[in-house]
Structure formats: structure tokens, C-alpha cells
């Protein structure tokens, strides 16, 4: 059996470098290579390379360098799209203020994605129903959605489980603000906090739900093991915990790869 290909750059070194720095290095390096190729073509008497092939080459190079620098797979979309977007926007003669508005809106939604590697993943009513069926019914619970996005799951559970405390935590300002406004509009008992979930004590909750990204799961699982009480429930949508078979696995209809997994937390003595 062939071994899985790995990035040629040692992981131990790259783990110390923030993802946004690696992405910037990939873009700048790719641009430098493409500029060098274009100038060399002219210097040696060639007709020069057109802007479209150069743009495509820069995008492909940036994505390849990003892979070599161990960026998460979703960064490839950004790397591939950055140069073509800039070229198209320049050709369309868009007003400069539009770029500032777009930047502020994107920053509001993806506030710390460059650091946490957790993009915005909205859930759906099918997910809310699947989660609701797994919650204990015998007594009130304390539930937290880490990375609650626009707040749909939290608002739904607050309505269907009026006996329980339901909290959503979100770091990106615009999704958090949207959640707070939805609470006030609907007069829901749901609660939202704008805080990094890594600052929470997960031991304060009976059920912890996450719909984050593969990059975030190992650290979140370690935190859950350290802090969550025996008998509490850790749920993850789509993204599994590496090397930890779940106690529960439920397929969510209508969601690609949408398996809802659950782990019953055990004491240290139980392993």
C-alpha cells in the first residue's frame, strides 16, 4: 500500500507559523515567480505572456505552495481565487471604497478564521432535529454550541427545551450580532456570548456541540477530555475526532458528509 503523501516541509516548524502568514508567503512567492517568468520571456526575445495565463499560473502556484506549507484544504480556494479576483476587479474599474466595504464585511464574518482555521459553517433544521433527539429528556441540561454562527441551533433548542440553559459562543462579530438581534426580536431565552470557545470551561456544560473544522478538532477534543464531567456528551457534526471512535453516529439527511457523532465522557479511571 502506498504511503499518504505529506508536505515536504516539517510539520513541527510550520505549526509555529500562523496560517495567514503562510498564506501570504504563498501568494508573494507565487507572484515573484510569475513576474520573473514574464520578464525572462521578454528578455530572451519572446512575445511575452498574456495576463490570463500569468494569472492562472500565479493562482495554481499559490495553492501548491500553500499545500507545501501545510495550510488547511479550504485555504486552497482562497489561494486560487485571490489573483483572478484582483485582476477582474481592476479590469472592471470598481470604486476603491467597494473593496473596503467588502473587506469589512468579510472580516466581520470570518474574524479570526486566519488563526483558528474555523470558517463559518451554517447548520440546518435537519441538524437541529438530530441534535434535539440526542439530548437527555429526564432533566434540564446545560448546552453550549461552540462556534454558534448565526445562532439557528441555539434558538431552536431554547424554544424546544425551555427547561434548559442553551448558550451559543461565537467570536466573529457579525454572526454574533445577528444572533443577539434574533434573540431580542423573538424574545428567546437563548444566550449568546462573543468569546473564543477556548476560553470556556467545558466542565460547566452537560452537552457540548461543535461544527468547526478538521484543524480544530484535536485541540477541542483534548480540552473536552480535560474539562468535561463524566457522563456529559460531546457532539461533533461532520468532523470526527482523530483516533476516537464515537459512541453515537447519526446520519443527517440532506447534508453532504453529515454524520452527527457523539462521545460519552468517561472518568480517567474508565479510560
Q: In the chain, where are the structural domains located? A: 11-94, 125-270
* pLDDT at position 260: 93
Helix (H) or strand (E) holding 144: strand 142-146
Report how far residue 154's alpha carbon sits from residue 128's, in angstroms, rounded to the nearest whole number.
9
pLDDT of 111 above 90 = no
DSSP 111: T
Write down the pLDDT at residue 176: 86
Give pLDDT, residue 98. 56
Confidence of residue 97 (pLDDT cuts 50, 70, 90): low
Residue 191: other Cβ atoms inside 10 A? 16
213 alpha carbon, distance to own chain's centre = 5
pLDDT of residue 109: 46
Model confidence at 89: pLDDT above 90: no
Cell 492562472 maps to which residue?
Answer: 56
CATH number for the region 125-270 comes to 3.40.50.150
Residue 12's pLDDT is: 46
Per-residue pLDDT reduced to its tens digit, 193-231: 998 888 999 999 999 999 887 878 898 999 999 999 999
d(CA 222, CA 126): 28
Greater confidence (12 vs 49) lies with 49
pTM (2 d.p.): 0.64
Phi and psi angles of residue 44, each rounded to the nearest 5 degrees, phi first: -95, 20
pLDDT of 241 reads 92
Across residues 130-152, what is the average pLDDT? 92
User: Tell me, what's the pLDDT at 4?
Assistant: 41
Distance CA 182, CA 156 (A): 11
Amino acid at each position: 500500500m502506498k504511503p499518504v503523501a505529506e508536505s515536504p516541509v516539517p510539520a513541527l516548524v510550520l505549526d509555529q507559523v500562523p496560517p495567514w502568514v503562510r498564506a501570504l508567503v504563498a501568494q508573494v512567492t507565487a507572484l515573484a515567480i510569475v513576474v520573473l517568468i514574464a520578464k525572462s520571456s521578454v528578455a530572451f526575445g519572446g512575445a511575452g505572456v498574456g495576463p490570463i495565463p500569468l494569472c492562472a499560473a500565479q493562482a495554481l502556484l499559490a495553492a501548491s505552495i500553500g499545500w507545501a506549507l501545510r495550510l488547511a484544504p479550504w485555504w486552497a480556494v482562497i489561494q486560487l481565487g485571490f489573483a483572478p479576483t484582483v485582476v477582474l476587479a481592476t479590469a472592471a474599474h470598481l470604486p476603491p471604497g467597494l473593496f473596503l466595504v467588502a473587506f469589512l464585511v468579510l472580516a466581520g464574518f470570518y474574524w479570526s478564521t486566519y488563526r483558528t482555521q474555523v470558517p463559518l459553517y451554517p447548520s440546518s433544521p435537519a441538524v437541529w432535529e438530530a441534535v434535539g433527539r440526542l439530548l437527555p429528556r429526564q432533566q434540564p441540561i446545560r448546552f453550549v454550541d461552540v462556534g454558534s454562527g448565526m445562532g439557528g441551533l441555539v434558538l431552536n433548542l431554547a424554544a424546544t427545551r425551555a427547561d434548559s440553559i442553551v448558550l451559543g459562543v461565537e467570536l466573529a462579530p457579525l454572526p454574533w450580532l445577528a444572533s443577539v438581534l434574533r434573540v431580542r426580536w423573538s424574545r428567546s431565552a437563548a444566550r449568546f456570548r462573543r468569546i473564543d470557545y477556548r476560553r470556556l470551561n467545558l466542565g460547566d456544560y452537560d452537552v457540548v456541540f461543535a461544527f468547526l473544522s478538521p484543524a480544530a478538532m484535536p485541540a477541542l477534543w483534548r480540552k473536552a477530555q480535560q474539562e468535561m464531567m463524566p457522563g456529559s456528551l460531546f457532539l461533533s457534526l461532520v468532523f470526527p475526532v482523530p483516533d476516537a471512535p464515537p459512541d453515537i453516529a447519526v446520519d443527517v439527511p440532506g447534508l453532504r458528509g453529515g454524520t452527527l457523532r457523539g462521545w460519552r465522557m468517561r472518568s480517567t479511571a474508565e479510560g
